[in-house]
Amino acid sequence: MAVLAAALRDPNVVIRYQAKIVTVPGSGCLWWRGAVSGRGHGRFFVGSLAADSGAGDRDLCVIAHRFGYALVYGAAVLNEVPVLGHRCDNPLCQRTFAFIDEITGWCHERHLDVLVEVHSFFTQQVQIARRVDRVYDFALPPLVLHALTAVDAGPLLTWLGLRPPNAVTVLDTHDGIGVIDVAADSTDRSRPGLLTPEQIDTLVETIHTNSGGTSRQATGAAASNLDLYQVNCTFYDALGGHDDRYLMARAIQFWAPGIPQVYYVGLLAGSNDMELLARSNVGRDVNRHHYSWPEMETELERPVVQALTRLIRFRNTHPAFDGEAECTGGGSHLVMTWRFGDQLAELDADLADSKALVRWTANGHTHEATLADLPAGL
């Protein structure tokens, strides 16, 4: 660290670093044109370390964009960010988080909040969340699916212990269900993801099976799909159209710290629109059904949709969600608890049989009900 700190103070070293950065017309990146490591990152010589054995000095090289980051924030900050992310996911780019900081500063000067949408290795989301107002939690959807289909709360609990609380939680969006957010680092496969490659493969195949094969027709090379790292499927169909599983998935989303966002197709527990896919041949359109007013009125009367709206109302109105959250369990059991003073809202989920109880306080008493039977007025 001492050698790096000295290099950062040396104007000749800084000039040498900056001389190796070029712009390319049409690209927003700042490209590195110096030495490159075997993993595709820039390498930059900052000085020499004295060998303890007396065998001579040893050259010290650092990842180039980490040197650039330290120029802005100082060498000591690097200890807090073992992995630096690129908005562009280009390992030769030298912008790193400086661009996000610039945008955030510009927005805050104008009293605007910053919500970042990024699909990448999960630690990058954690790092970015520290610099902005909110981030989308795109790791949550595949982890909830894994928990419910593999009956394994472990990876989900790991993420609940790591994830940033200033997140917008989602299960579905106008795009597909991403897997890159729980996979190994694409720039360094030695850095494992939240799910193993085998778990991801099993999850993708389970989604295809649960959807009756319709998601397979809408995913990857099967349709004109821009992104091969996601599965195009409604969340309801990804769970096989199983009402209890679907309500449990939504409850887990609502109990996770953050601001829940529910996509309109998810609000209506919609299924894959194969007719729209056939017309457009755009994979994402399978989850973009065009509802007519009469169709919406019919869908709103379905028991699963009625139960979901009651659950949304509960999440929006119970005072316990203004407090602190705790998540415990393991294997097939998951308990998520919010407390605020003497107020309680607890989700006790059995992943094996897709059943869950909600316990809550109201008027000085503790009540409980299944997700399907949660009352409208609490």
| Model pLDDT for residues 28-81, shown as the tens digit of each residue | 678 899 999 888 889 999 888 765 555 556 788 888 988 887 876 667 767 666
**Complete edge-to-edge strand list for the sheet that includes strand 167-169:** 115-116, 134-137, 167-169, 259-260
Which of 319, 341, 362 marks a domain boundary? 319
pLDDT at position 80, please?
63
Q: What is the pLDDT of residues 209-263, one digit of tens each?
A: 999 999 999 987 655 444 456 899 999 999 999 999 999 999 999 999 999 999 9
**Considering the domain boundaries, does residue 178 fall inside one?**
yes
Instruction: Provide mean pLDDT across the span 147-162.
Output: 96
What is the structure's pLDDT at 226? Answer: 41
Domain edge (last residue) among 291, 319, 347: 319
The span from the CA of 348 to the CA of 356, in Å, is: 5
Tell me the per-residue pLDDT of 339-377, one tens digit each, with 9 for 90 and over: 999 999 999 999 999 999 999 999 889 999 999 999 986
Residue 173 lies in a domain: yes
3-class DSSP assignment, residue 33: coil
For residues 52 and 140, membership in a common domain is answered with no
pLDDT of residue 54: 55
Read off the pTM.
Answer: 0.78
Residue 32 domain-assigned (yes or no): yes
Q: How far apart are CA 268 and CA 300, in angstroms?
A: 7
Q: Is the pLDDT of residue 18 over 90?
A: no
pLDDT at residue number 133: 96
pLDDT of residue 96: 67
Residues 118 and 243 reside in one and the same domain: yes
Task: Tell me, yes or no, whether 144 and 238 share the same domain.
Answer: yes
Q: What is the CATH number of the domain that holds 143?
A: 3.20.20.80
Q: Tell me the average pLDDT across 286-300.
A: 97
- Is a pLDDT exceeding 80 seen at residue 82? no
The count of domains in the chain is 2
Q: What per-residue confidence (pLDDT) applies to 73?
A: 64
In a domain, 330, yes or no: no
Tell me, what's the pLDDT at 224?
A: 44
Q: Which domain holds residue 87?
A: 2-96
* Claim to verify: residue 155 and residue 297 sit in the same structural domain: yes
Element (H, E) at 230: strand 230-231
Q: Is residue 80 located within the same domain as residue 226?
A: no
Mean pLDDT confidence for 108-134: 87
Q: Which amino acid is at 309?
A: T
Look at phi and psi of residue 111 and say left if phi exceeds 0, alpha if psi is from -120 to 50, else beta: left
Residue 292 has pLDDT above 90, yes or no: yes
> Does 312 map to a domain?
yes
Tokens 């979901």, residue located: 308
Pairing of β 115-116 and β 134-137? parallel
Residue type, 286: V
What is the mean predicted confidence (pLDDT) over 313-326? 97
